[in-house]
Amino acid sequence: MEKKNLSNLEEFILLGFPGTQGLQISLFLLFFVMYVLTVTGNMAIITLVWTNHHLQTPMYFFLCNLSFLEIWFTTACVPKTLANFASQSKAISFISCAIQMYFVFSLGCTEYFLLAVMAYDRYLAICYPLRYSAIMTHIVSARLALGSWVCGFSAIIVPTVLITRLSFCASNVINHFFCDIAPWIVLSCTDTRVVELVSFGIAFCVILGSCVVTLVSYICIISTIVKIPSAHGRYKAFSTCSSHLTVVLIWYGSTIFLHVRTSVESSLDLTKAITVLNTIVTPVLNPFIYTLRNKDVKKAFRKTVSGKKSSPRLRESLFNSMAR
């Protein structure tokens, strides 16, 4: 059968989740509710940190960065998915598809780096508590956060450029609910070995590099915690990193399968199902994990809900900023 050359195509069709109208409505409601919970939950954490003076530490500064990232990570793919559920047309322009792909994967890479930085922060806090404040200053924490964002958005530039230069044949239907790299490669009728190799190499370096930092940090953390003589002391030390460890396990568990692989021409349906976990489910779980497992955040939340006033220093700061 002769293939039709679509090298100059102007749009793709996002297949999404084919099914009956009832299924589309159910999925629309599910995705919509989870998206609203993700935005409100992560915004609540950002608001709590910036309105409670005792939470304005490097640990919660990194948490604010993570919450801000989760909002945009979900926003990069869910609104278009909701529009496709509610519409007969599932088209997305070539440029919009490339932009969506770039932001989804850039934010994903940034999350790896942020989680590694947060693990390093917990390592310093638990293994070097007396020197922590001198090492992890506000300037250092700001540089680490900025470095995570810059590295995350820089890592995906080359794969994006290479993928947008591919030629496509026979079909413009992407078997996914957003513009993923793997379906683009599958649709191409040109040699994709370079694109696959570059994508695999970057994914491998980002995941392995961040995983090594996180793993080494937690090995040191655990070895330090087990040396603490009292059970209460061990529990208190572990509680400061338990929320982050939970998020790390969920994130790595869902993404290693998606990105560390040598073949992209099979299991697209399975890939699509697992992608839901780390693009929609994980961002909505993070606020609950950090709220339910963190005494400081729960205390700040109860304080805000009950209408108690913030510290005099914070009130004075807010007053001065308003006066300006």
pLDDT, tens only, 86-126: 887 889 998 999 999 999 999 999 999 999 999 999 999 99
Reported as a single tens digit per residue, the pLDDT across 188-226 is 888 888 988 998 899 889 988 999 999 999 999 999 998
Where residue 236 falls among pLDDT bands split at 50, 70, 90? confident
Q: What is the pLDDT of residue 23?
A: 86
Q: Which of 4, 90, 79, 89 is closest to 34 using CA atoms?
A: 79
Q: What is the pLDDT of residue 324?
A: 40
Q: How far apart are CA 236 and CA 238, in angstroms?
A: 6
Q: Domain limits of the chain?
A: 11-315
Strand (E) or helix (H) holding 14: strand 11-14
Q: Average the pLDDT over 256-285 and give the result.
A: 69
| 11-315 CATH choice from 3.90.1150.10, 1.10.630.10, 1.10.1740.10, 1.20.1070.10 | 1.20.1070.10
Distances (CA, A) of 78 to 71, 217, 236: 11, 33, 38
Strand ranges across the sheet with 11-14: 91-93, 11-14, 173-174
Q: Choose among 147, 157, 258, 267: nearest CA to 203.
A: 258
pLDDT tens-digit series, residues 31-53? 999 999 999 999 988 988 888 88
Tokens of 170: 């026979």
pLDDT in tens, 137-150: 999 999 999 999 99
Q: Quick one: pLDDT at residue 51?
A: 85
Higher pLDDT, 113 or 15: 113
> DSSP for 301-319?
HHHHHTT----HHHHHHHH
Who's near 267: CB < 8 A, 6+ residues apart? none
pLDDT digits (tens, 9 = 90+) for 153-193: 999 999 999 988 888 776 788 888 899 887 888 888 888 88
158 — phi, psi (to 5°)?
Answer: -65, -50
Mean of per-residue pLDDT scores for the chain: 83
